[in-house]
Every structure is written in structure tokens, then in C-alpha cells.
Amino acid sequence: MADTRGTVLIVDDDPAAVELLADYLTGRQLSVCRAHTLDEALAELDRERPEAALIGVRLGDTGALEALKRVREVNVQVALLAMAAPEDVSLAAEALSCGAADYLLEPIDFDYLGRALDKALAAATPVMDFAEPVLAPVASSPQALLYTLALEVFRATRPLSPEARASVGQALEQMALQAMQRGVSGEKAEVIRALNQVRTLIRFAHDLGDLGAETASGLDEHVGRARRSVGLS
């Protein structure tokens, strides 16, 4: 397709969702290829050599994240963006450790998708190759610290009662994931805003008696490390 900025592979078992995304991407001068199964995705990856791929974390009978992992195995250059339903936020976070550059929760925020794709395409090198071992991020990097914070938040909220999860637990998880997501995309102002909300929610949960003093203190230490990594005290 002439005069396009690149090619994006959309992988999802919902045809309507694929076409909605395709319409949006075509309007942004991007060429689109489609797949509804893992086999179709691998075939399109070989045939079209896309610079980026939007992949659902769940794909039919394929295991969770399996499609993303397989695509990454056969192509280490293609930029991967994971898509997940709200109930799969933990899978979305795990996708980052499986090679995804970013993730999006449904319903898709198209403005955020556009920015994420622009960044991915700017850095993309569409060359097929076998994957090399991926080095773990430096422990003190902002991205690593934000990931650790989100992980610790989920560990702390899992034992909460249903009432506590509904009132503050889910909000705390969402803000921690948002901080991590914005960190991946380099949106410092949004990272700071999310971290401030995480700290507020931790204190609120402690004051309500949902989080014990030791747990709240530990989470606050992780927030502090993440804040310092982006230049805050």
C-alpha cells in the first residue's frame, strides 16, 4: 500500500474488534494485515513483515499470552502491543515481561493507541530473525521500579476481602498499572500523577484498616523508590 507509514498486524479472535482497529489505523496512514488465530498471525508475520503488531492476550483456544510469546520468538524486531479486557489486567502487565512494548485495556483508548504506535514505529526495524536472550532491566531503572511497585500492589490486594477490593483494592491496582504503563511510554507527568494517587490510596486503605501498617509501609517504600527514579523526592 503506497504512501503509508508502516504496516501493523492486528491479532484478535473478535472480527468486529479487528475491523474497528483496522479502520482507525487505516485512517492514520497505516497499512493493516489481520489474523484471528495464532497460525494466521505467524503466516501474516512472514508474508507482510509488519513493523508492529497489536495482539490480544487471549486468543481463542490458545493459552494466555501464547500468541504474543510465539510472535516474539520468531521476530525480535516487531514492536508488540498487547490488548486485554479489564479483568485481564494482570495478564496485560505480564505481557511486558514477555516482550510487549506497551499494553492497552479495552475499550481501547485510541488516542493512547496512536501515541504508542507512533513511538513503536519510530523505533521499529522490520527484519525477521530468531530471538536472542532478552536482558532483564536494570533494577534501579524507572520501568523496573514501576513494575516492581505494581507487582507488590497486586500481592497486597489479593488477600483483601471482597468489600475492600471493591472500595480501594481495584482502584489501587489500576493506578499502579497506569503508572507502569505510562512509564513504558515515557509520559513522566502521567507517571507522577499516578504515583501520587497510588500513595494516597495506600494511606486511605491503611486508615480504613484494609492494609496493615507493615504492608502499607512496604508499599510506600516502593512508591518512594519509583518517585525518586523519575526525579521526585
Question: Does 179 map to a domain?
Answer: yes
Q: Give the C-alpha separation, 174 to 179, whole Å.
A: 9
Q: Give the C-alpha separation, 142 to 122, whole Å.
A: 21
Q: Give the C-alpha separation, 154 to 147, whole Å.
A: 11
pLDDT of residue 61 exceeding 70: yes
Q: Residue 12 belongs to what domain range?
A: 7-123
Read off the C-alpha cell for 30.
497505516
What is the pLDDT confidence band of residue 181, given thresholds at 50, 70 and 90?
confident
Contact 137, 180 (CB under 8 A): no
Which of residues 123, 152, 174 is at a domain's end?
Answer: 123
Question: Does 136 map to a domain?
Answer: no
Question: Does 167 map to a domain?
Answer: yes
Same domain as 119, residue 13: yes
Same domain as 148, residue 220: yes
The b/e string for 11-27 (b: 16+ C-beta within 10 A; e otherwise) is bbbeeebbebbbebbee
**What's the confidence (pLDDT) of residue 136?**
39
User: Which residue is listed with cell 498487547?
Assistant: 82
CATH number of 174's domain: 1.20.1440.60
Mind listing the pLDDT tens digit for each residue in 94-131? 888 787 888 888 889 999 899 888 887 876 544 434 34
The phi-psi region of residue 49 (left if phi > 0; otherwise alpha if psi is between -120 and 50; otherwise beta) is left
Same domain as 116, residue 12: yes
Three-state DSSP state, 100: coil
Mind listing the pLDDT tens digit for each residue in 17-52? 999 999 999 999 999 999 999 999 999 999 999 999
**What's the confidence (pLDDT) of residue 124?**
59
Q: Give the C-alpha separation, 82 to 11, whole Å.
A: 10
What is the pLDDT confidence band of residue 134, given thresholds at 50, 70 and 90?
very low
Mean pLDDT, the chain, as a whole number?
84
**What's the confidence (pLDDT) of residue 138?**
40
How many domains does the chain contain in total? 2
**What's the confidence (pLDDT) of residue 54?**
95
Read off the C-alpha cell for 38.
495464532
